[in-house]
Amino acid sequence: MTALNATHDPKLRSWVASANEAGTDFPIQNLPFGRFRAAGSQEAFRIGVAIGDQVLDLKAAGLVDTDDMNALMSVSVKDRQALRASISAGLAEGSDKQAAWSKALLAQAAAEMTVPCRIGDYTDFYTGIHHATTIGKLFRPDQPLMPNYKWVPIGYHGRASSIRVSGQVFKRPQGQTKAPDAAEPSFGPSKRLDYELELGFVVARGNALGEPIAIGEAEDHLFGVTLLNDWSARDVQAWEYQPLGPFLSKSFASTLSPWIVTTEALAPFRAKFERPAGDPQPLPYLDSAANRESGALDITLEVLLQTAKMRAAGEAPARLTRGNTTEAAYWTAAQLIAHHTVNGCNLQPGDLLGSGTLSGPKPDEAGSLIELTQGGKQPITLPNGEKRAFLEDGDTLVIRGYCERAGAVRIGLGEVSGTVV
**Phi, psi (5° rounding) for residue 77?**
-60, -40
Going by pLDDT thresholds of 50, 70 and 90, the confidence category of residue 262 is very high
Q: Is 183 exposed, middle or buried (0-12, 13-18, 19+ CB in 10 A)?
A: exposed
145: β partners? none
So what's the pLDDT on residue 94? 97
Segment 340-391, tens digit of pLDDT: 999 999 999 999 999 999 999 998 999 999 999 999 999 999 999 999 999 9
On average, the pLDDT of the chain sits at 96
Contact 35, 115 (CB under 8 A): yes
The fraction of the chain above a pLDDT of 70, given in percent, is: 100
Classify 402 as helix, strand or coil: strand
Give yes or no for residue 1 having a pLDDT over 70: no
Q: Are strands 163-165 and 254-256 parallel, antiparallel or unpaired?
A: parallel
pLDDT at 404 over 70: yes
Tens digits of per-residue pLDDT, 173-221? 999 999 989 999 999 999 999 999 999 999 999 999 999 999 999 999 9
**Which residues have CB under 8 Å from 152's CB, separation 6+?**
339
Q: List, by residue number, the catalytic residues.
A: 131
Q: If pLDDT is split at 50, 70 and 90, which confidence band does 62 have?
A: very high
Angstrom CA distances, 224 to 98, 108, 196, 230, 357, stand at 27, 21, 20, 18, 18
Residue 115, burial from CB neighbour count under 10 angstroms (0-12, 13-18, 19+): buried
pLDDT over 90 (residue 138): no
User: Can you give the residue ranges of every domain in the chain?
Assistant: 6-114, 122-420
CATH class of the domain at 122-420: alpha beta
In 10 A of CB 307, how many CB atoms? 21
Q: Which of the four pLDDT bands, split at 50, 70 and 90, describes residue 143?
A: confident
Tell me the pLDDT tens digit for each residue of 6-24: 999 999 999 999 999 999 9
What is the predicted pLDDT for the residue at 2? 74
Provide the pLDDT for residue 141. Answer: 81
pLDDT of 79 over the 70 cut: yes
Class of domain 6-114: mainly beta
Confidence label for 278 from pLDDT (cuts 50, 70 and 90): very high
Position 392, amino acid? E
In the chain, % of residues over pLDDT 90: 95
